[in-house]
Amino acid sequence: MILRYIFFGVFVLLFACQSDEKVIEDSSVLDDKKEIKTNSDQKTKTDVQTSPDKGIKPERDTITEETLFSSQGFSDKKYYELLIETRLCNPDYDPKSNSNTTPCSAKFFEFFPYNHKRDIEDAFLLQVKAGVNNFPYRRLLIFVRENGRLVLMNGIIGYLVKRVSSPNEIDDLIVAVFDDLGNDKFDRYDVLLRYTDGKYHFVEAVGDLQGTFKTEKLKKAASKAILKRIKEKELIF
């Protein structure tokens, strides 16, 4: 009988130890999960704080422009008044008359700023749709106000591609220059223009219909040939 009681007591003691060990193991698993979650949260917070480019502005902003001549009219009356002042359109246009003139409408003209030291009323880019005033190609015209009057500073046979901010607050321009080669063949030169000495000047060619000039050697050779072509045909004036 005594041996039976001793055997029963040992059995109870062994069962209690196994139960305690299981509780300890389960508690350890829960602690590990809690720790993993905490580490994950901390990592996310750190990643956000040290994320590159966050709150850092590029040295030069580039704005890619897409000319979408509007059928809804200008956003402000001042653009209509400026357009009349350029004398490129007819404010009294009558579609019934055969005057070969163009109405003063956002369907044919679009404005862009370029000189951030002056109001757009005194300095603006004007993209002109092909066919306006019987001219077959798109034109980019650059106006500035001098002594109270609008003056045409530059003209480009082609269209605006990008405006790139400059330290002098007058944007560099990437323009696509259009070249009619004859016999229904055409070429396009993407060139960089920069404002110096009162007007925009050719800096370099950056690409053509085949794509961007990827090497400095190719860019230099192409720029020389393209500038010669631009001068010969007065594609920038």
Could you report the per-residue pLDDT of 216-231, keeping only the tens digit for each? 999 999 999 999 999 9
Residues 167 and 198 in one domain: yes
Residues 199 and 86 in one domain: yes
Residues 44 and 133 in one domain: no
Residue 179 in this model has a pLDDT that exceeds 70: yes
Residue 20, SS3? helix
* Mean pLDDT within 92-101: 83
Helices (H), the chain: 2-49, 77-86, 216-233
132, 108 Cβ separation under 8 angstroms = yes
Q: Give, as one character, the DSSP assignment of residue 129.
A: -
Residues 137 and 199 in one domain: yes
Report the alpha-carbon distance of residue 68 to residue 74 in Å, rounded. 12
Residues 103 and 145 in one domain: yes
User: Is there a domain that residue 56 lies in?
Assistant: no
**Residue 36: is it exposed, middle or buried by C-beta count within 10 angstroms (0-12/13-18/19+)?**
exposed
Residues 16 and 123 in one domain: no
Residue 70 in this model has a pLDDT that exceeds 80: no
Report the alpha-carbon distance of residue 162 to residue 215 in Å, rounded. 21
Q: Using pLDDT thresholds of 50, 70 and 90, give the confidence band for residue 67.
A: low
User: Is there a domain that residue 57 lies in?
Assistant: no
User: pLDDT: is 5 or 131 the higher one?
Assistant: 131
User: Is there a domain that residue 187 lies in?
Assistant: yes
Residue 11 in this model has a pLDDT that exceeds 90: no
Residue 132, SS3? helix
Residue 177 in this model has a pLDDT that exceeds 70: yes
174, 188 Cβ separation under 8 angstroms = no
User: Is there a domain that residue 80 lies in?
Assistant: yes
Residue 21, SS3? helix
Residues 85 and 45 in one domain: no
Residues 89 and 205 in one domain: yes
Q: Into how many domains does the chain fold?
A: 2
User: pLDDT: is 205 or 30 the higher one?
Assistant: 205
Report which of 173, 159, 138 is spatially closest to residue 66, judged by C-alpha positions.
159
Residues 122 and 74 in one domain: yes
Per the prediction, the chain carries an average pLDDT of: 79
φ, ψ of residue 94 to 5 degrees: the values are -125, 115
**Residue 71: is it exposed, middle or buried by C-beta count within 10 angstroms (0-12/13-18/19+)?**
exposed
Residues 27 and 96 in one domain: no
User: Is there a domain that residue 225 lies in?
Assistant: yes
Residues 30 and 113 in one domain: no
Domain of residue 87 covers: 62-233
Residue 89 in this model has a pLDDT that exceeds 90: yes
* Mean pLDDT within 85-98: 89
Report the alpha-carbon distance of residue 218 to residue 211 in Å, rounded. 12
pLDDT tens by residue, 27-52 = 333 333 333 233 333 333 333 333 33
Q: Give, as one character, the DSSP assignment of residue 57.
A: -
Residues 179 and 78 in one domain: yes
